[in-house]
Structure 1
C-alpha cells in the first residue's frame, strides 16, 4: 500500500565489506565504517534530546561514503565540553524587513543573485547532518490539532518574502481531517529541540514563526487519486519573512530545466530516520534521478499511473523521503553555485525500499501556475 507521503532519510544501514584506518576528532586511530555499525556513535545519535555537541562531533567524524551511505571514524564520543560562549552570527540586512503590507515583489519569485545562495560554498554534500546555516530556505509547516496543540508535519521552501512552496496534500485533504488546520510556518529552524540553535560556539537567530494567511493547493489535486497528480501548492504568509543569514529564498528552475537519469539531486528535512523516529535536526541526502519509464512501469503495477509532471528519484535501499518530509524540496545545485528547487516531495512505496524511487511533483511543470497564483493572490 502507499504510505501517504513520504520521506526522508538519513542513513542507513548496511555493513561494509571493507574499512579504512582513520583518526577521530580527538586524534584516536580507528576504522572508517557505517554509522550504524558503530555502537557508540549510534547510541549517541539516538539520544533525545540530541545535544548539539553530538551533532557537531558526528559531522566531524564523517570519513567517506560507500555509494550514498556515509561512514564515520568510529569511536566513543567524549562527554559534553564546557559550554562555549555563543557567538551570534550577524544577520544579513534586507529591504522591507518586517513590512506586513503588500509589495511589488510579493507577486514574483526571488531573482537570481538573491535566491538559492548557500553560504557554505563548496563543502562536500551527501552526508547526513546539515550545517547550522545550510539550506536556509527550508520551512516547517505547523498544524493546530483539535486539542489546540501545534504539530509540524510537512515541509516546504521559501521562494520569496511571502510565499512557501509545498505539496498540495500538505494544504488540503486527509491532513486536515487526520492532523488539523495549517496555521503557521517556521523559518530558520535547525534543531527543533532548542529555542536558539548553536553549533561550535556560533548561534543562529531564533526561528521566525509566521502565521499562515492562506493555502493554495493546485486545483487539479485530489487526494483520492492514487498517483497524486498535481500534488503541489503555495502557502501565503500573513506577513513578510525577514531575509537573514539563516532565512533566504531558493530559486525556481528556468523553463528549460530538465533532469536526466543519474543526475544528482538533494533532499532535506526533519523526517523519519532509519530508526523510525523523526530527527530533531535538519538532515540532508544526495539521490540520483531515477529513469522515468522504469519508474512508470513500477508504479503501474501498484495501480498508480504517473504523468509527465512527476519526477522519480532515489530507489536505493534506505535512501528515500519518509513521513515528515512531505512537501519538502528536491534540489539541484547549479554550476554557477546557486540552488534551485526542481521537485516537491509527494509520495512513495514504503520508505527507503530498495528499487522503489520516491515520486516528486516537477516544479518546472507548474511554474506558470505558481507565477499566476502569486500574481492573483498578492494584492
Structure 2
C-alpha cells in the first residue's frame, strides 16, 4: 500500500524516451484473495491493475488477448516469455526488452520428482527447463505469449517463480500462473 505503481506502455528500451510510449499511473490494484507471498507454490500469483487514465491504442500499444477459460496447452507448445529481468543468474539487467522461446512442459511431466514435483499445481504452466532459456529475477509478472491456431497471440501465463538453483537450470522450467484458470476472476 505504500508503493506507487505506474505502467509503461509501448516501451522497448528502459533508458530511452521512445516516441509513442506512455507512463500511466495505477488507480487501483486487485490481488487475488488466495495469494500468499510466503507460499508462492500455492499459486494464485496474479493481480489486476486499473489504469488511472484511458489509453489510446496505436501501432506500439495494443490489447493483450486472453485465452479461452480452462485452456491447457499441449506439451512442447511454443510460447515466448518477455521481460527486462536478469540475463542470467546474478547477471546484468538489460536495457532492451528481452524475448525467449520456451516450450511448454505439461503438468504430468513438470510435477514429476526431479522436475518441480508437488511444488507445481494445475493452476500453473511450466515452460522451458532446457538449461538454456528461462525467465529470471526481474521478469516476474511478465507474460508468456502463445500463438493460437487462429493466429492471435494470447497471454497464457504470468511469470511466477523459478529455481533457486539458477534461472536456466535443467529440468526446472520457469513456472507461470495459468491465466486460463482465472478468466472468471478477471471478468468479475
Cα distance between partner residues in 2 of 1:335 and 1:245: 23
- Name the counterpart of 1:299: 116
Mapped contact 2:162–2:174 kept (Cα < 8 A): yes
* Correspondence for 1:353 among 149, 169, 172: 169
| 2:3 matched residue in structure 1 | 181
CA contact (8 A) 1:265 1:332 kept: yes
1:221 pairs, out of 35, 48, 51, with 35
* CA shift digits 1:14-48 (9 cap, x unpaired): xxxxxxxxxxxxxxxxxxxxxxxxxxxxxxxxxxx
Alignment of 1:365 with 2:181, yes or no, is yes
The reply on whether 1:238 has 2:23 as its aligned counterpart is: no
Aligned counterpart in structure 2 of residue 210 of structure 1, from 9, 21, 24: 24
Asked if structure 2 preserves the Cα contact closer than 8 Å seen for 1:269 and 1:328, the reply is yes
Q: Is residue 67–residue 179 contact of structure 2 (8 Å, CA) maintained in 1?
A: yes
Task: Specify the SS of the correspondent of 2:41.
Answer: coil
**Deviation of the 1:238 alpha carbon:** 0.7
- In 2, Cα distance between equivalents of 1:250 and 1:326: 17
| Distance (Å, rounded) in 1 between the aligned partners of 2:69 and 2:40 | 28
- Tell me the CA shift for residue 336 of structure 1: 2.4
CA contact (8 A) 2:70 2:181 kept: no
Structure 1 segments (4+ residues) deviating >3 Å = none
Using CA pairs below 8 Å that are at least 6 residues apart, which structure has the higher relative contact order? 1
Aligned length: 183
State the alpha-carbon separation in 2 of the partners of residues 311 and 360 from structure 1.
Answer: 5
Output the CA distance in 2 between the equivalents of 1:238 and 1:208: 13
Deviation digits for residues 211-257 of structure 1, max 9, x if unmatched?
11011110010111141410011001111122111011110011253
Please state which structure has a larger fraction of its residues in helix: 1
2:155 alignment partner, SS class: strand
Contact 2:145 2:156 in 1 (8 A): yes
Alignment of 1:130-169 (within 5 A): none
For the aligned residues, what is the CA RMSD? 1.7
- Looking at structure 2, the residues matched to 249 and 236 of structure 1 have their Cα atoms a distance apart, in angstroms, of 14
Name 2:16's counterpart in structure 1.
194
Is residue 333 from structure 1 mapped to residue 147 from structure 2 by the alignment? Answer: yes
Cα deviation, residue 299, structure 1: 2.4
User: In structure 2, the residue corresponding to 1:354 is in which secondary structure?
Assistant: coil
Aligned to 1:277: 92
Residues 237 and 226 from structure 1, CA distance in 2 versus in 1: closer, same or farther, beyond 3 angstroms?
A: closer
